[in-house]
Structure 1
């Protein structure tokens, strides 16, 4: 096939191994793509953006396939042009079917036997030299090392002989299956079954199962539903061996998953927009850092396919039509029209609920008119608009259900914003631009120094005339970091007129200046103001109850401060606890903040809209001062097939050592005690948030504990350690508390976990559960799980 890129197109040979779940292609060296790491397959016209970027003819479109996948810490793309249409069709169909199978396995719906069969083939065929021959003892010893297991040699020989029933001295595939079956035995699961059936001679009856589900698993399903589940999992209840097998299979199945909500939209979607958290992105066009990253439609596609419902556009005058980029930086530009076409194409693939386009409009009136016409032509009837004169007054915001399939534009209405007199004191809470911060100049310079060091010296080599140094007197020229203080005379000079064409598109999301939160200031239901995290932190400290009251009927957007040059994120639940709906994150950076966001919006069928807790939707102050103390009791029992790190070509890094893993469990709690929720007492059992924090204050309270280290076993480490994590929450808002499981390696130099998983406490089903594990890009490992037991109790 032809591998296309911006630099050159060249012939490559592509091979697919269904058993290994891998795509191989030869470039300078053999590259590997794991099928389960594929995020999207785009064929034909769906990949037109890249074809046109590379300047290739339209004749290639019918034979074009773009594979979007993740490896290590980032997204990659592979563009393949088949020699003919039939070959393209075969490749396209094959990869889509293989990907669907791997997704089933991730979700637990593929069945235990199917998972086992695929795993066995994968390791039987794990290297070319072992593919067509039996395994001797040395082969098995090497295989165990690849499996991240280093058992004593005598024990391994004993297992080898037990599997070699015909005494051949080698293992054929049937003997290999016996060997790995013994290797993958789960005595901890068998012990649960034995304890459960101790008084019934090993027979699992429905009363015993019902008792287990009610008291251990804290199941809330009806007795009838639990009886159906019992019949489903125990197809041979009279045979004890079969009952053990089916019960163990149940504990690993989707019916017993840790995430306790159905994969469908189940929340009431008929409430006003202000009553929902809305999945939101910041600087969506960037796929790199804020200073010199690439602007592309790819950021919009990725966000929308992950159920993001609010995307950002920073719009400036272009040569012919408006363009999008990060102003006063070295980022590249992308035409508005291309971005709008991408948004329209992907807007409702994952979720049918409304898209909010948060636009910062910096272009003149002529190109504002162009912008409005581009949006009307691309979005058509999906775009919400209304005549400027005579539009009806809105008493309450419409619901997500009423706005299904619609596109809303949010931009600042200058005729509303500029009609108010400007006061310099407003700067602290009135910043509707990601280029501006509300900190003092000294604070900004300190933050920028810290962030530039994270981005690295590579950036400094491209800065050119923009002088940056890390000496005693750091200087940042205006093109790199925009103003940190505003003079009213300067502001008057920079006023931009607004197009009436654009004004007609501002209906339910009208950007306005925040004039403070007090009884003297009134806002229409459609008025939306934006706050930088610094401004929001000030409100949380001094006026949190006023902000909560405001967000009951009005939408507020929070965004990261402009000096987060390396595109880091805050923890969003800090602002969700104040009722803010549009808490925007840098989706190009998969850190703890984005993981919390992903966990929150994994709920409600990935609709991108989650109903806020009752305490934040209704004017019940008594709910907000009701603070309760709890304890999460966690038993970390075991892990299964922990992943090895991979190199940049997708190959597992197999060195001489076998990992020594341990597990860290953390509760991430909104800082209730630093807000209006605070009680007179303090709880000293909390620890500060771990990890680097930009700009000082932490976003959450963290309480954590960890297991001991298991030596030389990343295949089936067994801890069986218990600990208690004390915490509190306000107004029964446990959905704003998140649990983070991180598997770490004792000898690892950096702070990056081997695998991790974040889940809202309100969704974590208690009892015995298998936790799926994710990599640094939120891709789920196919066979890696963590087996735990949890119990939530109140404490006095």
Structure 2
């Protein structure tokens, strides 16, 4: 029962990439890191090359370097400031044939290449310029202060892109402000040094497709004629909402939290009072949460047998997150373990949920659950998957 075949997530989705990798880059969610070089806090954390190793091993496929001129004329990775000519030389020297310096042959220049076509290639993203400018001049930019990150604002005019040697490395990627970006955050950069709720959701999203860092978006997000609107989803009336444009039907998820094993609160040396809270994250109508009762003084083998039911309008965009907490009457409840996974990758039947600690380390703690999934039909009846 503890083999991967009984995991909540279908192991065939986690072992290796299985999705079509020949679509344009814009058709994928891309696992992206912000301030990659920082090991701890964004404010006082030190820059450390090991941070890149950590992010890449966790599936990050877009990393960030902030460089400035060192005392010896060579680039130094540090928070803020941007180097130009020397940075271009160093990138070419180190990455060599892996650095993409020319656009790939294509019959449609307006369509980006696929992950398959770009395999083993490194792309550079930065500000693009129309022509060379003097090092003392600040080139024009289309970004406004409201559209820039506060911590990424240039320290001085030299931090703008001013050298054509570096500009020539920008083949496909450049910063372009998008209107309505808050509705289409498919390439949001995450601070890996802080494993908060958002990082847990990011981790869960990119478990899919073998953890390769690229997850293919559903057809209704890439087809301009789909008419999908995440704010007009109604499970009770699928025919009168944008759900009619989605091939897959809404789900009715019945989840029974049966028991847990070997729960430990590393922050204290005492018996714990565990309970489980289950969240679903997706389109607005799919954001729900339910919890079990508290079991006092039992972290070894607490039993709940607690049944939960969720109606999920768009399972393709939904994540399910399990959080085990230690109830505390005098302070905030500590997280004992958590796990997040894409809804459309879970298996039915009796399953074990392998919990991770608050800092994302794999623990020995597990949840034992039962999963049942039924589809909503047009007449609101349910059919088992």
TM range (shorter): 0.7 to 0.9
The equivalent residue for 1:705 is: 290
Change (3 A) 1:422 1:306: closer
Spell out the pairing of 1:580-659 with structure 2 (5 A cutoff).
Answer: 580-624=185-229, 627-629=233-235, 630-645=251-266, 654-655=269-270, 658-659=271-272
**Deviation (angstroms), 1:322:** 1.8
Q: Does 1:536 find its partner at 2:181? A: yes
Spell out the pairing of 1:569-588 with structure 2 (5 A cutoff).
Answer: 578=184, 580-588=185-193
Q: 1:299 aligns with which of 51, 62, 68?
A: 51
**Deviation (angstroms), 1:723:** 2.2
**Deviation (angstroms), 1:781:** 1.4
The answer to whether the 8 A contact 1:735-1:763 is kept is no
Q: CA RMSD in A?
A: 3.1
The equivalent residue for 2:144 is: 427
Residues of 2 paired with 1:712 and 1:624: CA distance? Answer: 46
Change (3 A) 1:267 1:663: same
Residues of 1 paired with 2:342 and 2:293: CA distance? Answer: 25
Residues of 2 paired with 1:755 and 1:582: CA distance? Answer: 27
Greater RCO between the two (CA within 8 Å, min separation 6)? 2
Residues of 1 paired with 2:272 and 2:281: CA distance? Answer: 27
Instruction: Name the SS for the 2:171 alignment partner.
Output: coil
**Deviation (angstroms), 1:494:** 7.5
**Deviation (angstroms), 1:290:** 2.1
The equivalent residue for 1:156 is: none
The equivalent residue for 2:241 is: none
The equivalent residue for 1:362 is: 82
How many positions carry a matched residue from both structures?
351
Residues of 2 paired with 1:788 and 1:416: CA distance? Answer: 61
The answer to whether the 8 A contact 2:259-2:302 is kept is yes
The answer to whether the 8 A contact 2:33-2:62 is kept is yes
Q: Does 1:662 find its partner at 2:275? A: yes
Change (3 A) 1:496 1:628: closer
Spell out the pairing of 1:255-654 with structure 2 (5 A cutoff).
Answer: 255-262=5-12, 263-320=15-72, 321-327=74-80, 362-363=82-83, 368-386=84-102, 394-415=109-130, 427=144, 430-431=147-148, 434-436=151-153, 496=160, 498-509=162-173, 511-514=174-177, 536-537=181-182, 540=183, 578=184, 580-624=185-229, 627-629=233-235, 630-645=251-266, 654=269
The answer to whether the 8 A contact 2:132-2:163 is kept is no
Instruction: Name the SS for the 2:202 alignment partner.
Output: helix
The equivalent residue for 2:320 is: 739
Change (3 A) 1:297 1:420: closer
**Deviation (angstroms), 1:593:** 0.8
**Deviation (angstroms), 1:393:** 8.0
**Deviation (angstroms), 1:432:** 6.8
**Deviation (angstroms), 1:261:** 4.2
Residues of 1 paired with 2:161 and 2:169: CA distance? Answer: 16
Residues of 1 paired with 2:34 and 2:219: CA distance? Answer: 27
**Deviation (angstroms), 1:766:** 2.0
The answer to whether the 8 A contact 1:743-1:753 is kept is yes
Q: Does 1:776 find its partner at 2:381? A: no
**Deviation (angstroms), 1:761:** 0.9
**Deviation (angstroms), 1:747:** 2.4
**Deviation (angstroms), 1:763:** 1.2
Instruction: Name the SS for the 2:65 alignment partner.
Output: strand
Change (3 A) 1:428 1:498: closer
Change (3 A) 1:756 1:369: same
Give per-residue Cα distances to partners, 1:307-327, cap 9 Å, x unaligned: 110000112222121222223
Residues of 2 paired with 1:290 and 1:297: CA distance? Answer: 15
- The structure in which a higher percent of residues are helix is 1
The answer to whether the 8 A contact 1:615-1:624 is kept is no
Over alpha carbons, which structure has the higher Rg?
1
Instruction: Name the SS for the 1:599 alignment partner.
Output: helix
Unpaired runs of at least 5, structure 1: 1-250, 328-360, 437-481, 484-490, 518-534, 541-577, 647-652, 673-700
Residues of 1 paired with 2:207 and 2:304: CA distance? Answer: 29
The equivalent residue for 1:121 is: none
The answer to whether the 8 A contact 2:139-2:160 is kept is no
Change (3 A) 1:417 1:633: farther
Give per-residue Cα distances to partners, 1:132-172, cap 9 Å, x unaligned: xxxxxxxxxxxxxxxxxxxxxxxxxxxxxxxxxxxxxxxxx
Residues of 2 paired with 1:772 and 1:765: CA distance? Answer: 14
TM-score, normalised relative to structure 2? 0.81
Residues of 2 paired with 1:631 and 1:392: CA distance? Answer: 44
The equivalent residue for 1:790 is: 371
Q: 1:728 aligns with which of 313, 323, 327?
A: 313
Spell out the pairing of 1:102-181 with structure 2 (5 A cutoff).
Answer: none
Change (3 A) 1:313 1:716: same
**Deviation (angstroms), 1:671:** 2.9
**Deviation (angstroms), 1:602:** 1.4
Residues of 2 paired with 1:503 and 1:721: CA distance? Answer: 58
Change (3 A) 1:495 1:306: closer
**Deviation (angstroms), 1:282:** 0.2
The answer to whether the 8 A contact 1:257-1:769 is kept is yes
Residues of 2 paired with 1:308 and 1:640: CA distance? Answer: 31
